[in-house]
Structure formats: structure tokens, C-alpha cells
Amino acid sequence: MMADNLPPKPEVIALFQQKNIQRMRLYSPSTDALQALGGTHIKLLLDVPKEDLEHVAASEGNAAQWVQDNVRKYSNVNFQYIAVGNNVKPSDSSAQFLFPAIQNIHKAIVEAGLRNQIKVSTATFFGAIDASYPPSAGTFRSEYQQLLGPVINFLRDHQAPLLINLYPYFAHVGNPGHVPLDYALFTSRSTVVTDGSLEYQNLFDAMVDTVYSAVEKAGGGVLDIVVSESGWPSNGGDATSVENAMTYLRNLVQHVNQGQGTPKRPGKRIEAYLFAMFDENDKDPEYEKHWGLFFPNKQEKYSISFK
């Protein structure tokens, strides 16, 4: 995280346990965090950082060493996913290494005997989507289709989900005239979007189903989706307030925990990771500083139950 005032990582793990937060995402391996996670029941999503993609793509040996140093070494950590790269864009210098890095990390996980425990994927974002309205029209932008097409086929073949960073906040502030605030906050009292026989009362479901549609068109079939980031800032920009952040996160947790799925995939439980645990004072612009559920002193910004 981009902040200079955060509590020590063992205290953060203790806070997760105290608040019954059962999933965690680490954007890069951290010895202190991984040691503190040992013996807990917290399910971990661990990233291979973008800057490591070239190295792990270069050889199977490099990938095996990465898995040894950051996964196998911590045998009492409950690893669930490895995200190889986060928000890799086609224009990034690391883009050419994404797919071979995924292949090599996956092979290292298989050879470590962990294929049934840990799924290897990548985390992309809604900006990769071209058409998004209605949800059934969802498609990837052509340049992302080229980047992610082989990845999606690989994930399909190995029964691993695609990870997607999903923010109704940005959809609302980018087009408030057509994306109402109550639709983004899960507070609309009636259907907002009708897509054939499917009706949408909240934007989160519509965005998830748009990704499902895009994945289908990319050859992914009924590939699962895991929401690897979602949140709402409490200050610093349009539609930001503690009230809006609290409303979105509370409703998202309740919606996911109900296990009802989306209109396109009813009954298909959604996994979601909330962004973020703490405010990050080193980020810009101003609204980027205020996504935390907690202040750096570990006080709750607002009350929220994760059960």
C-alpha cells in the first residue's frame, strides 16, 4: 500500500481476525505479512507484481523459485489464488510477459502439488471492456482481446477464474446522467436496466454480467469471475462521502453473502475483495487517498459486518 503511516503487518492480520475478515489480498509478497498469516484461516490472494513478470516468464526455473520463496516456504498459509500481474495494459512493457508468466507459475504450482489448492490467474479491470450496455453486449476492447484471449482460454482449460477489479463508483462519476447514484450504491428500489428477460436493480451485477458476456465471446465459456477489488472513496472527489462509502460497502457485503448470484448467473455465489483496508496518504489525486475501511490507527471509518 502507498502510505507511510500504516500499522505493522502482524497488527493488520490481527485486525482481520478480530473483524472476522476471511479473505485478504497482498499485492506483493511480504515476509512479515506471510509469517503473520501462518496458522490463520484467512484465504489469501497473492500477486506476482507487474515488475516480476519478465523474470518469472523467462524460465520455468525462475517461476519455481518464486513459488518456493513466496508460497511453499509458508506451508501453513491458506493460499487460494495467485494473481500474475494486476491491471496489465496492452501498452505496458510487461504485457508481452503476462501469458508466459501465468503458464510458468501455474506449472510451478502443479509441480509443488498445490494445483487443487491454488488457482493461478491474472487481475484485469473494467477498462478492458469495450461495449458494456446492455450487459449481454459485453465485449473486450480489441487490444485487450489480443492480450487476454490466450489467458482466458488457459483459465478455462484449468478451471481457474478470471479476476476483475470492479468499481461502480467510476462508472457513476464518469457518467452521472446515465448511471444514477442509487443504482451504483445498491439502493435503487426498482429495476433500472432491462436486458431481454434480465432485470438489473444494481450496477455491480450489471458490471459482473458484462464481464461474463465478454468472457463468453472470448471463448471462455462459463468461466468463473472473482471480483478482486471493489470499493468506494469517502472523500476527495465527486460523490465521495463516508455515508456513500459505508452504504456501498455494507450493501456489497450483504449482496455477496446472500449468495444469489447475478441475473445472468443466478445462484452462482460471487467472491469479492474489498478495497481497501486502510487509507493511503501517499496516493494522488485526492480521492485515491480515501478508500480505506479503517484509518491508519486501526479505528473503523464506519461500522461494517463481514458475516
Active site residues: 229, 280, 283, 288
Task: Give the single-character DSSP code of 134.
Answer: S
Residue 293, CB half-sphere, CA atoms under 13 Å: how many?
Answer: 21
Task: Give the single-character DSSP code of 247.
Answer: H
Amino acid identity for residue 59 in this structure: S
Distance of CA 152 to the CA centre of its chain: 16
| Partner residues linked to 199 by β-bridges | 194
- Tell me phi and psi for residue 46, to 5 degrees: -110, 130
Sheet with 23-26: list strands edge to edge. 23-26, 43-48, 78-86, 119-125, 162-165, 225-230, 271-274
The answer for residues whose C-beta is within 8 angstroms of residue 23's C-beta and 6 or more apart is 42, 43, 44, 45, 80, 271, 273
Planar angle of CA 31, 33, 38, nearest 5 degrees: 95
| SS3 state of residue 263 | coil
Which 3-state string (H, E, C) describes 188-242? Answer: CCCCCEEECCEEECCHHHHHHHHHHHHHHHCCCCCCCEEEEEECCCCCCCCCCCH
| Partner residues linked to 48 by β-bridges | 84
| Partner residues linked to 249 by β-bridges | none
Nearest CA to 248 out of 177, 194, 302 is that of: 302
